Amino acid sequence: MKAVGDLLHASGASLERLLVEFPAGVPEEVSQNQISLVHNTGLRSVHFGGLNAGASRTFFSTDLFPWVTTMLSQIRSKHLQEVTFDLEITSMNDLLSLDWERIDRDLSREEFKGLLVMFHISLEGAGSPIGQDVQDLISDRLAGFRDRGTLCVSCV
């Protein structure tokens, strides 16, 4: 992880597009201590991929994907236009395990006004059709952001 953190630091303001995908079970302490986006002030888009709730459930954490919220809070770019989340869930409970308050607070910052946030949700194994429930839950949890930017939620 240190090598990734060093690369991000060295990229500085020249990094415009970032796709982040870590293996399941990355401890929050690792992302807080070894990886930082504060120097990447030229970011235009950030894509969080490979967010598989089922695989991450085997590791202990109070919240699901704590490294995502940590990285979101580190973004200092005034050029950010888009944040994308690719998330595979097994039930609605997976979504309830995300730190929505922190995500909403970070995405609602003044410098992110007009931001496009997209959630691509894979519902495989989630049981009955819950696409609309997922869309409603995410929309409700990001109420502060909805007043400042554009939220798109797609479920497959």
Average pLDDT value over all residues in the chain: 88
18-41 tens-digit pLDDT = 999 977 666 656 566 788 999 999
Architecture of domain 2-155: Alpha-Beta Horseshoe (3.80)
b/e per residue 1-37 (b: at least 16 CB within 10 A): eeeebeebeebeeebeebebebeeebebebbeeebbb
Residue spans of the domains in the chain: they are: 2-155
Report how far residue 22's alpha carbon sits from residue 26's, in angstroms, rounded to the nearest whole number: 7
Which pLDDT belongs to residue 103?
97
Percent of the chain surpassing pLDDT 90: 63
Cα–Cα distance, 156 to 136 (Å, whole number): 15
Q: DSSP for 28-68? A: HHHHHHH---TT-TT--EEEEEEEEHHHHTTS--SSSSHHH
pLDDT of 94-145, one tens digit each? 999 999 999 999 999 999 999 999 999 998 766 567 888 999 999 999 999 9
